[in-house]
Amino acid sequence: MQSLLAPFRERLGLSAFAAGDYAKAERYFRKLEEKDPNSLSVLRNLGLILMAKGDAQGAETYLSREEKLYGRSFHRHAALADIAYARGRRKEAEKRYRLALAEPEAGAGGSAAALRPLMEKRLGICADEKSFASSRESMKAFQEAEELKAAGEAEKAVEAFMRSIALDESNWPALNNAGILYLESLGKPEEALKLFEQAFEVSRNIHAARNIEVAKRKLGMRGRR
């Protein structure tokens, strides 16, 4: 029965992750982990889910184990670079971004070529101590914004998210999260759409792309009233 349920749970977990429901996605992959803890899918997706939830240390545990078991690759270099960046390990992040950019997937016509501009931007930040220090201040502003959001202070949270992106233009989740607040808490889908489009321009991320469509639908529904 478990072998029959596994693909079903994986699809549901991936759908929840794409929809930004990280808690639900994690529940499905935890069930899969119970039966096959060293599965490539389990290690990769739990790492990415935990990273999206802000648990960089937990994410690193899973993605490092994935690399140990399955070897180095573009996706592992890129994910571990992002974790090192988030945790303030400048030299390690710089090294990992360089390795990711050297992989065929990141080259012209490669499957991850669209991610190259963001990684190059991060690489430039890592190569400059002053820029990297600014990125640490960006993360502090981001955390402040998350706390304000949790406290129901939507407008103040948006201001903090925008300070975060001003300090580090590669911090696309700040744009995405500010857009979500505009859309869901402040009733401003036009502003939300602008920020989602900026987030996607920087990141080419599936969650930002999905949010663009959600904001467009919201604008369309409002226009029909």
Q: How far is CA 191 from CA 118, 147, 175, 213, in A?
A: 23, 22, 11, 14
The angle subtended at Cα 163 by Cα 171 and Cα 75, nearest 5°, is: 5
Q: Please, what is the average pLDDT of the chain? A: 93
Total number of residues shown for the chain:
225
State pLDDT tens for residues 131-162. Answer: 999 999 999 999 999 999 999 999 999 999 99
Q: Where does the pLDDT of residue 223 fall: very low under 50, low under 70, confident under 90, or very high at 90 and above?
A: low
> Dihedral angle at the C-alpha atoms of 120, 122, 127, 128, nearest 10 degrees?
130
Amino acid identity, position 197:
E
Q: Would you say 179 and 196 are in contact if contact means Cβ atoms under 8 Å apart?
A: yes
DSSP string, 1-52: -HHHHHHHHHHHHHHHHHTT-HHHHHHHHHHHHHH-TT-HHHHHHHHHHHHH
Tokens encoding 170:
């590669």
Q: Is 86 helix (H, G, I), strand (E, B) or coil?
A: helix
Residue 74 one-letter amino acid: F
- The per-residue pLDDT for range 171-211, each reduced to its tens digit, is 999 999 999 999 999 999 999 999 999 999 999 988 899 99
Contacts of 209 (CB under 8 A, 6+ apart): 200
Domains and CATH numbers, the chain: 1-71 (1.25.40.10), 134-220 (1.25.40.10)
Q: What is the mean pLDDT of residues 115-135?
A: 97
Measured between its terminal Cα atoms, the distance across the chain in Å is 48
Which of 5-14, 34-43, 59-68 bottoms out in mean pLDDT, i.e. has the lowest? 5-14
How many Cα neighbours within 13 Å face the side chain of 163?
17
What is the tens place of the pLDDT at every residue in 176-185?
999 999 999 9
Q: Which helix (H) or strand (E) element contains residue 123? A: helix 116-126
Sequence letter at residue 114 = A
Residue type, 72: R
Burial class (CB in 10 A: 0-12, 13-18, 19+), 189: buried
